[in-house]
A and B are shown apart, each in its own frame.
Chain A
Amino acid sequence: AQTVTQSQPEMSVQEAETVTLSCTYDTSENNYYLFWYKQPPSRQMILVIRQEAYKQQNATENRFSVNFQKAAKSFSLKISDSQLGDTAMYFCAFSTGTASKLTFGTGTRLQVTL
């Protein structure tokens, strides 16, 4: 069974600064997919970024980038130039492939302050 661990229950960052959210996972699979989801107060789950395990290059999406360390089973999310709208709960998630369930971490609550 796969497990996903997020060791930071809460984080705070000032507007325009950079913050990194940590995520580690455990699996015996070689091919899998990793995701970061954002859940704002509306509770709508929004995909922030995804990474295919077979790709060595770290995924980036505008201000969001990941540091994927496959050997260490680590998948951290870096948010640059933080904005007030980034305030949300962030979940790291793992999937083994198409039509496969997502296993979520416990989440990190990020607060962006002025």
Chain B
Amino acid sequence: GAVVSQHPSRVICKSGTSVKIECRSLDFQATTMFWYRQFPKKSLMLMATSNEGSKATYEQGVEKDKFLINHASLTLSTLTVTSAHPEDSSFYICSASGTGNYEQYFGPGTRLTVT
């Protein structure tokens, strides 16, 4: 149990375009989802926390207008990178937790390359 999927696993897009990454909890209801960014050989940096039906809470320094997060249902959260630039190239990982659960379950990640 507690499986989280991400789609796509890797995506290449041109500079200036937008790209959407989906995070789904497959066998539980995810009341809270988290989005992380990981640079090569670095740790995970939290970008934002989203609760189902509410606006996401962004970490300091993360542009909310650039990284749009939607958590419209208990099984799906999306991250849209708007007007992508090469510096947005990174590995994006989502995680999810259910009601009353302190443990987070991680998706397999999405490698974004902006050319």
Residues of A within 8 A of B (CB): 33, 37, 42-47, 50, 91, 95, 97-107, 109
Cross-chain pair count, CB within 8 angstroms = 52
Contact B51 A99 (CB under 8 A): yes
Does B97 make an interface contact (CB < 8 A)? Answer: yes
B interface residues, how many (CB within 8 angstroms): 24
Q: In the complex, which residue of chain B has the Cβ closest to the Cβ of A103?
A: B46
Return chain A residues, CB-CB under 8 Å to B51.
99
Interface string of B71-103 (1 = CB under 8 A from A): 000000000000000000001010101011111
Point out the residue from B31, B43, B95, B103 that lies within 8 Å of A106, measured CB to CB: B43
Point out the residue from A37, A44, A50, A106 that lies within 8 Å of B108, measured CB to CB: A44
Point out the residue from A44, A101, A107 that lies within 8 Å of B46, measured CB to CB: A101
Contact B43 A98 (CB under 8 A): no
Contact B102 A104 (CB under 8 A): no
Contact B32 A107 (CB under 8 A): no
